[in-house]
Structure 1
């Protein structure tokens, strides 16, 4: 039998996970990150959000164990955390598969992929080549 303290911890972790997934912008961020690691500036640009808004959403996702950051110089990059729990792993996989089918998100990913190759937060604006296509 599971002790009440252990059960409370497990429920708390599950609750935090589902609360993190209960927001449209966070789901869009997860879908973007399913394509690979991204700098915060790429997420801002793709979703048209302010840095503070993106940081808030990433903080909620980080606290829920969905994403993890790493710093490279002055830039912060995020990636999806490989989920150890099989149920969480399947839920995230299903979510990203579902959201990849929607036109709006597909267009966001296309914009991201176009800008990601040409524009980087590490590239000074005068060195950015024009987007083609």
Structure 2
């Protein structure tokens, strides 16, 4: 993994919020991220594309749903940095993001997660 795109991805607050949610939940679809962050779908999708291109996240399709998770082959140093950043995010806006996600009605059901 190239460190520059990794750190570039972390430079954006929205992407850090997405990563914190993925760390806590394991896997989320775009609709869940939209509900949790309160941002429009195109903006969320663009941030996901940046992180996918950087190698931070992976996706899988299940029917019409696309689910995102941290890339399973991230190097150990990247996991450690995300863990530290996630702890800090838990005390900031990410707490409110988790509350909104927990209150989301009709969350997609995962058969293979």
Question: Normalization by structure 1: what TM-score?
Answer: 0.74
* More contact order relative to length (CA 8 Å, sep ≥ 6): 2
Which of 96, 101, 107 is the matching residue for 1:120? 107
- Checking the alignment, whether the CA contact within 8 Å between 1:82 and 1:89 is kept in structure 2 is no
1:105 aligned residue: 94
1:119 counterpart SS class: coil
Aligned alpha-carbon RMSD (Å): 1.6
2:76 aligned residue: 86
Distance 1:61 1:75, change over 3 A: same
CA distance in 1, matches of 2:22, 2:89: 12
Moved over 6 A (4+): none
CA distance in 2, matches of 1:34, 1:86: 14
Which of 5, 21, 25 is the matching residue for 2:14? 25
By how many angstroms is 1:83 displaced?
4.5
Alignment gaps of 5+ in structure 2: none
By how many angstroms is 1:96 displaced?
0.7
CA distance in 1, matches of 2:77, 2:52: 18
CA distance in 2, matches of 1:39, 1:49: 14
Count of paired positions: 108
2:66 aligned residue: 76
CA distance in 2, matches of 1:41, 1:111: 12
- Checking the alignment, whether the CA contact within 8 Å between 2:29 and 2:68 is kept in structure 1 is yes
Cα offsets for 1:35-63 (capped at 9, x unmatched): 22111000011111111111100001111
Alignment gaps of 5+ in structure 1: 1-9, 123-133
